[in-house]
Amino acid sequence: MTSDESAERHHRQILLPVIGRAGQSRIRAGRVCVLGLGALGSHTTMLLARAGVGFLRLVDRDVVEWTNLQRQALYEEEDVRAALPKAVAAARAVQRIDQAIAVEPVVLDVDAASITGLIADVDVVVDGSDNFELRYLLNDAALELGRPWVYGGVIGTHGSTMTIVPDETACLRCLFPDPPAPGSVPTCDTVGVLGPAAALVGALQASETLKLLVGDRAARNPGLLSIDLWKVEIARIAVERRSDCPACGRGERAFLRQQVANRIVSLCGRDAVQVVVRPAVSLDLAALAERLSALGSLQHNPYLIRFMVEGYELTVFPDGRAIVRGTTDPAIARVLYARYIGM
């Protein structure tokens, strides 16, 4: 794309006094990592791509499912039929929007061993995660590396967002010192998600990201913005930095320093359990697919193997990770994994 074509594409954005040509140049030079490509991450990614962000690293552990299409903007029916990982499908969608964008899809379950490498070379990180574990890990890593990040969450008809700039603003643990206890907060499994609520919070996250990229930090969201879209109720909650905050006050990195071990966790919005092996391995998917083909029909592409067995659906990734669908019982997932993957 020529400079003239780029200027024409972003002409309406360049007209904005808060951006202008200089701001558009900063946006094109900007580097953003989106962690999680569900409802929030897909909307934010789409808007950042259309705004002309020059580099997008798109990270997600999951595969596009039919239930995603109600609220996750970048995906289509063909992505479901092809069993594409969300990171791959999102990257392809970004390239259809703007071929000049450098986009890096990463199919990965982010943990303490991988997060710093994912965000160390970007200007802003966008939180599109569906779990508190990753948000607290991101908070630690962002503070450690001095990377600003934009928190976002949606459940039911309610959404919230907060922009966190190390050494300037409160961090996540100033607001919520510890993650909520399991079972203490509603989830998308129990109360659902309104698609427009996700679109709204994703738009707010994209706007905050653009402010950071153009250098207008004075205009950033100064606290926690909370919105119930159905009731049209908006609240802005001031959040001050706390000297006794475990993370930004005392400098603790409890989540970043944790030992990385095998994990079995239920997935939000899915009748499924994820099995993660540590250290990660490198599976020969073609060989594994040939071995498993005796079980019946299976789906195999360069990114994963998907097959049905004993009434359950198993999706296996090259790093040894697997999603077992049809149960929320970790014991069943563990048995199936050992029986058919053999580790």
Query: Please, are residues 242 and 174 in contact by the beta-carbon 8 Å criterion?
Result: yes
289 membership: H or E segment, kind and range: helix 285-292
Which single residue is written with the structure tokens 């006794």? 244
Residue among 206, 196, 207 nearest 231 (CA): 196
The C-alpha angle 317, 121, 51, rounded to 5 degrees, equals 90
DSSP 74-129: T--HHHHHTT-BHHHHHHHHHHHH-TTSEEEEEE----TTTHHHHHTT-SEEEE--
Q: Considering 33, 171, 174, 188, which one is annotated as catalytic?
A: 188
Beta strand 102-107 pairing with 55-60: parallel
Structure tokens at 45: 């990614």
| Active site (annotated) includes residue 188 | yes
φ, ψ for residue 211, nearest 5 deg: -60, -45
Helix (H, G, I), strand (E, B) or coil at 314: strand
Sequence-distant (≥ 6) Cβ neighbours of residue 146 within 8 angstroms: 166, 167
Which single residue is written with the structure tokens 């400098």? 251
Distance of CA 62 to the CA centre of its chain: 10
Query: Please, are residues 94 and 73 in contact by the beta-carbon 8 Å criterion?
Result: no
Beta strand 149-155 pairing with 124-127: parallel
In whole angstroms, what is the distance from residue 284 CA to residue 327 CA? 26
In whole angstroms, what is the distance from residue 180 CA to residue 169 CA? 22
Distance of CA 276 to the CA centre of its chain: 17
Instruction: Report the catalytic residues.
Output: 188
